[in-house]
A and B are shown apart, each in its own frame.
Chain A
Amino acid sequence: MHNIGTWDWETGKRLIADTGKWKDMFDWVEEPYVSPDGERIVAVVKTGEMEYSVCENDTPWESTFDKVWYLRFGPDNRLTALVSSTGAWTVAVDGAAWENTFDFVWNTKFGADGKNITVAAQKDMEYFAVTNDIPWETRFSALSNLTISHDGKRVAGVAPTVKIKQGDIFIFQEGCYSAVVDGKPWDVNFVNVWDLAFSHDGEHVAAEVRTSLYDYTIAVDGVLWDKIYTSVWMPQFSPSNGSVTAPVRIAGKWTLAQDGKLFWDRSFAQLWHHMYSPDGKKIAAVVAPKYGRWTIAVNGIPWSLTFGDLVTDAVFSPDGNRVACIGKEGGKWTIAVDGKAWGEKYDMVWQPVFSPDSKKVAAKAEKNGRYTIVIDGKPIKESYEALWNPVFSPDSEKILIKGIEGNPDGGKYFRQVLPLTDVTG
C-alpha cells in the first residue's frame, strides 16, 4: 500500500455503496473487490447481451466489453481489469483501455507505488510482457514465472530460448530455457528455470534452475553457484548486503544456503518461503522440524509451537523483531505470533497484518460463514458477510475495517475507522 498517510483516518463509519441493489441493477454481478484505502468497491457486472463492465460504488463504467476478469487494485488505489472487445484483449485502468491489444493478457502485477503495471501477453502465439502499455520488443514461444522488481520498472520471466518439439527429450535435457529480463534472455540455457527474484535495487535477478534432470542450483544474473543440490526453492536477495539465499536440499534434508555455501547450521524435513526482515538482519522461513509438523524458524531456530496441517503466509513486523503466520491444525485455522498461537480457531484466516509500530497484529477470520477482524487474538464485536484485510493507521492507533454488513444492512459496504482502544480495550 502506498501513501497511507493521505487516506481518510477520521474515526467513523461511512456507507460507500449498497451492493445489495446491484443485483436489481444488473443481471450478473460477480464477487466484489475493494480498494486498499476502502473508498471504492467494484465488481464485474453484465450490462447487456454479451456485454460486461465494472460497477464502482453503485455506478457502472461507461466503457463496456465482451469479457472482463481479474479486477485488481494497485497500491495507489487505481483499478485494473483485463478486458476483451471483439476478441482483442488489453488492460483497462480505471475504465480506460490501453491502446495496444493482444490475443490474451493475464497475471497483472504492480510496482510498490502502483505506477508501473505489468501483464503477461500473447499475440499471434508469441509471448512477452507489457508494462504500462509498452510491450517487450522480443517475443518468445512461451512465458512463465512473470516477476517484477520492487519498483515495477523491471520485468523478468522464464522462456524457451531453443526451439523444441514435443517429444524431443534429449534436446530438452541439453537445456532450452532461460530467464528473460526486460525481454533479453540470459546468455545461458538451463533444463528448467523456475521462480525468479529481483534484488532490492532491481539490478540483479536470481533464479532456481535445474542444469540436468538431477542437478539443481541457483543462478544469479545467469551465473551458477558452484554447488549443486538435489533440489532448491525460490532464492531471495538480502536487502542489506545483496547476497543471495535459497533453501537447498542435501541428503534428503533442507537447509538454507547463501551464495552457494551453507548458511544455517541445521536442517529440516522441509524449508521454504524464507524472507528477510525489512532491515535484512533476520531471516524467517516456514519449516518442518520433523515430518508432518510445521512451524517458523527465525535465523534457523524453530519455534517450539508446531502445527500438523500447515504453516503459511508468514510476515515480519516492520521493526523486524516479530513474526506472524497462519497455522492450521486438525482442519482449524489460527494465527501464531512469535511462537504463540491465538486461542480461538477459525474456519479460515487471512495473512496477518502488523501495525506500523510492530506492537499489534490483526487478521481477517471466518467462522460459520461470517467474517470478522481479530486483533491480538481478540475478535471485534461486529461480523460481516464480506470483509477485506484490515489496515492500521500510520500512527498505529486506529484500524480501517472494510466490510459488507449483514442484515438489516445486507449488501451495504461500509468503510469504518476505529480507534484501537475501542476494539481492544
Chain B
Amino acid sequence: MAAESGVFTFAPAIAVLPFVSFLVALFAGKYMPKKGAVAGIAATAGSLLLSLVMLAQVASGHAHHMELYTWVGGEGVPFELTFGILLDQLSTLMLVIVSTIAFLVHVFSLGYMNDEGETGLPRYYAELGLFSASMLAFVFSDNVLMAFMFFELVGLCSYLLIGFWFRRPGPASAAKKAFLVTRFGDYFFLIGVVGIFATFGTGTFGGPGVEESFPELAEAAIAGGASVNTFFGLSPRAWFGVLGLLVLGGVMGKSAQFPFHTWLPDAMEGPTPVSALIHAATMVAAGVYLVARMYGFYALLPTVLAVIAFVGGFTALFAATMGVVKDEIKQVLAYSTISQYGYIMLALGGGGYVAGVFHLTTHAVFKALLFLGAGSVIIAMHHNENMWDMGGLKDRMPVTYYAFLSGSLALAGIVPFSGFWSKDEVLYETLVHGLGGSPLLLAAYAMGLLAVFFTGFYTFRMVLLTFHGEPRTDLAEDPEPVRWNVKIPLAILGVLAAVIGVINLVPVHALESSVPEFLHDWLYHGPEGLNGEHYHELITSPEFAGYSAGAIPGLGELGTLFASAGLSLAVALAGSAVALALYRAPAPEEHTAKLGSLKTLLYENYYQDEYQVWLAQDLTEETVAKNAKRFDDGVVDGFVDRVSDVSLVSGHFLRRVQTGIVSNYAALITLGLVVLLVAFGIVGGWFGGVFA
C-alpha cells in the first residue's frame, strides 16, 4: 500500500508540469528554441506519462483520494474548503484523454504556429500550458468548489486563446463572446456551488476514505435517512433539483448546449490547434465531465435528468441542421461539436452513464483529429477556410486525407469506426429507457436519431467538398506541404479514431460474451459510490430516477439492441448517401439554394445571435440599464446633489459669522460660555436650589 501511495504522491505533478511550462514559456519563452514549445511538449508528455501510470494504478484496483491543502476550516467553522485529488476510474481516464490531446496539440502547433512564422509564440505556448494545467486540475478535483475554480480558469484560458490574434476585431469579439456567454452559465454554477455547501456542508464528490460526500448525503436525504438544510421550504428532492439545475447552467454554458451554444462557432476565430483543444478535450468537455463527475447526484433527480436529456437531444439536432449549410470547414466542425456534445448530454440524461463517457472519449479523439486535419488543410490553403475554394486535396495531401476520412467516418457513425459504437450506445440507452415509460426520453431519442442523418450529411459534404472533385482554385491546385509535426499527430489520432471503439463493443459483447466491454467493466469497478453499478442502481431505483429498461415490442432485449444499432447505422448511411449523391462530382454545385428561405434561416443560425444581442442590447441595455441609470442619476445622485446644495447654500450664509474681527469672536465665545454656565448651573443645581 505504501508503494502505491508513493506513486500517487506524484499525482499533483500532472497539473503542475503544464503550469511550470506556462511559467517557463511566459518568462523565458523568447530565449528558447521554438519559443517555448519544447517546454510545453515536455510538460504535457510528462503529464501523459504520469496519467498513464495513474491509470495503471487505478486499474490494479486502487482508486485514490488525498487532501492537499485546507484553506478554510478548523474549529467552529461549519465546513472545510480544501484542495484535493480524486483519482478514480473516471478521472484517470479523462486525465489520459486530456493529456494525450494536449500533447498532440502542442506538437501540431509546431507546424501550425512556428512554421507559419506567427508572432507572440511565447504567449501562445504559455496560454496553452495554463489551459492544459487548469483542465487537468479540474479533472482530478475532489470537490465541487475546486472544480469550479479550475472550471473558471479553463474559461479564462479559452478566452485568452480564442483572442490570441487580439489585434484583429473578429478574434477579440469572439473571445469576449465566449467569455461572457460561458460566464453567464457559470454564474448559475457559482450559486449552485454555494447552495451545495449550504445544503450539505461539504462539496466532495466522494471516493475512497471520504467520510461524507454530497451525492451520498443527497441520496440518504431523499431516502429519509439523513437531514440536510433545504431552503425556501422545498422538499429535499425539489431543492436538490434546483441545485442540479443551477450547476447544469454552468455545464450548458461550457458545453455549448442550447441556448448557450452561440459562443462556440465564433470561437473558431482562435488558432486551429486551440480549437482542437477546446472542442475535443478541455473547455467544452469540462461541462459534460462535470455531469459525469457528480452523476451520483444527478441520478437521484429524474426531472433534471429529463431536462439534460431533452436539452441534449434538441441541441444535437438543432446544431446538426445548422452545420449542413456552412461554407467554412471549421464552422462545420464547430456545429458538429455542439451536436456531439448534445449526444453526450442525451446519454447522461437518458441514464447511459457509460455511454456518455464512452462518447466523450471517442469524440475527444475524432474531433481532435478532425480539427487538426482541418488545421492541416488550412495550412495547405494559406489560411483560406472556405470549402468552396478547395477540392481535390485528396491526392495532394494523402496523410491528411486518410486521417480526416477516418475521423469523418467516426463522426458520421459508420461501422466499425469508433463513433458508431459510442453513438449507437448513446441512442440505445436512451431508447430503452424511453421505452421503459418515459415519452420525453423517446422524444429526445427521436431528435438524436434525426440528427444522425444530418451528421452523416454534413460530414460527407465537408469531406467531398474539401478533398474530392477537381481543385477549384490555384491554391488547391498547389497546396503548401505540411511537415512531420502535423502528420504525426494526425496519423496517431487517425488510427485511434478508427479503433478506439474497441473499448466498449456492446453489440458484439451481447452476441459473444467473451468479447469484453472494457469501458463498461472499468467504470463499473470504481470506488464505492462513484461507480457505474451504483449509478445504475440509482437510475433504476423507483425511489430516485425510476428509469426502467424497456424493449421494442416483439424483439426482446437483444433484438432491441440490434434494431437500434441497425437503425442508427441506416440513418447515418442515408445521410452520407445523400451527401455523396449531391456533392460527388468533379465540380459540385451549391445545393443550398434549393432550400429557399430555410437556407437563410440556417445560414443565420436560426437568428440565435440576433435574439441574444437583442436580449443583451435592446432589452437589457436600452430598457433596464437606461431606467436604472435614470434612477441612479435622478434619485441616488439627485439626493447626493441636494445634500451638497444644502450645505453649499447654508455655508454661503453661515460664513458671514466669520467677520475676521477679534471682538466678535470674543463676543461669541463669551456668549457661549454664559449659555453653557447657565445650562450647567440649572442642571447641576449651582444656584442654591433656586431653579432645582
A pairs with B: no
Q: Name B residues whose Cβ lies closer than 8 Å to a Cβ of A.
A: none
